[in-house]
């Protein structure tokens, strides 16, 4: 009997996954039924393990729930089907047009910093402006290997660029909450959860995470203010993703561009860039 119950639980892995995503999207079974044109009874049977979904059913429900491609592959394999979405390396010939577009955008952003990152905030490539910016802040300092080229860790770790961020305690809670939201968006067993837990162990982070974010409703956009060597720079950033991606790597790519928030920053950063070159 125990073995039978264990087997049934394993067989219901897809049902549990569907229920998880339905809950994350605040869908009742009725909501999902109306949006997908699948009977509520059938959805209930799938979640309880009494019915097994077809491949088309998996993809239909995943589309309605707006589930990321990586997790759609997981849903397919959990239901007993082969994954359908590729995960090319950014250096693969199949994504050459994307590399060309990214390189073009990075050049257009000069002399200001721009970074291409994966979903977990690891830098994949950047422009000369980014190198000048990090070089100005960090100089010859040795960043801990545990930080590497992860921009979220670099911003929040005391041995990264944190000492040079004047409004760090204002910015940090927004960054922490963003990573947490991404944990929820990525689904169970998320790799982002590992990043989130690691960041929580940094000094002062847990205290900031447990507090509500500061009310900055009077500001149109939060800026990050840096200070070093008598120079003060203020930037705001944009995050860009690719439209209609059909590959996991491409869906998870992010392009972050930094823009001067005032004329003084524009002039000072141009001087820093000229000195670096």
Token readout for 119 is 């979903």
The helix (H) or strand (E) run that includes residue 275 is helix 263-276
Contact between 129 and 273 (Cβ < 8 Å): yes
User: Nearest to residue 238, comparing CAs of 251, 250, 254, 226?
Assistant: 254
**pTM, 2 dp:** 0.87
For residue 265, the SS3 value is helix
Tokens (6 digits) for 141 = 């300092």
The residues that bridge with 226 in the sheet, in sequence order, are 165, 233
Each residue's pLDDT tens digit in the chain (277 positions)?
Answer: 444 434 444 468 999 999 999 999 999 999 999 999 999 999 999 999 999 999 999 999 999 999 999 999 999 999 999 999 999 999 999 999 999 999 999 999 999 999 999 999 999 999 999 999 999 999 888 888 889 899 999 999 999 999 999 999 989 999 999 999 888 888 876 788 999 999 999 999 998 887 776 665 566 788 999 999 899 999 999 999 999 999 999 999 999 999 999 999 999 999 999 988 7
The answer to whether residues 127 and 107 touch, using CB atoms and an 8 Å cutoff, is yes
- The CA distance from 153 to 64, in Å, is 34
pLDDT at 142: 85
Number of H helices and number of E strands within the chain? 14, 5
Q: Which domains does the chain have, with CATH numbers?
A: 2-78 (1.10.260.40), 93-276 (3.30.450.180)
Neighbours of 105 (CB within 10 A): 15
Are 213 and 177 in contact by the 8 Å Cβ rule? The answer is yes
Q: Describe the crossing of helices 13-24 and 55-64 by its angle, rounded to 10 degrees.
A: 20
Residue with tokens 């088309």: 56
φ and ψ at residue 36, rounded to 5 degrees: -100, -10
Measure the CA–CA gap between 34 and 49, rounded to whole angstroms.
21
């Amino acid at each position: 009997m125990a073995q039978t119950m264990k087997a049934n639980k394993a067989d219901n892995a897809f049902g549990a996954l569907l229920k998880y995503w339905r809950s994350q999207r605040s869908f009742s079974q009725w909501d999902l039924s109306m949006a997908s044109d699948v009977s509520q009874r059938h959805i209930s049977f799938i979640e309880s393990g009494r019915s097994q979904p077809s491949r088309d059913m998996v993809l239909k429900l995943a589309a309605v729930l707006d589930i990321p491609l990586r997790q759609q592959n997981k849903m397919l394999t959990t239901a007993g089907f082969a994954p359908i979405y590729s995960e090319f390396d950014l250096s693969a010939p199949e994504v050459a047009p994307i590399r060309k577009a990214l390189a073009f955008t990075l050049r257009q952003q000069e002399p200001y910093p721009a970074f291409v990152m994966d979903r977990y905030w690891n830098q994949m490539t950047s422009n000369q402006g980014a190198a000048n910016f990090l070089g100005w802040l960090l100089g010859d300092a040795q960043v801990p290997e545990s930080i590497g080229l992860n921009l979220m860790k670099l911003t929040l770790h005391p041995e990264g660029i944190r000492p040079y961020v004047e409004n760090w305690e204002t910015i940090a809670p927004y960054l922490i909450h963003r990573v947490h939201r991404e944990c929820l968006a990525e689904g169970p067993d998320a790799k982002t959860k590992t990043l989130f837990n690691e960041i929580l162990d940094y000094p002062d982070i847990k205290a900031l995470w447990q507090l509500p974010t500061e009310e900055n409703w009077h500001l149109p956009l939060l800026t990050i203010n840096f200070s070093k060597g008598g120079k003060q720079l203020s930037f705001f950033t944009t995050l860009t993703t690719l439209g209609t991606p059909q590959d996991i790597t491409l869906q998870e790519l992010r392009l972050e561009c930094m823009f001067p928030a005032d004329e003084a920053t524009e002039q000072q950063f141009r001087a820093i860039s000229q000195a670096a070159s």
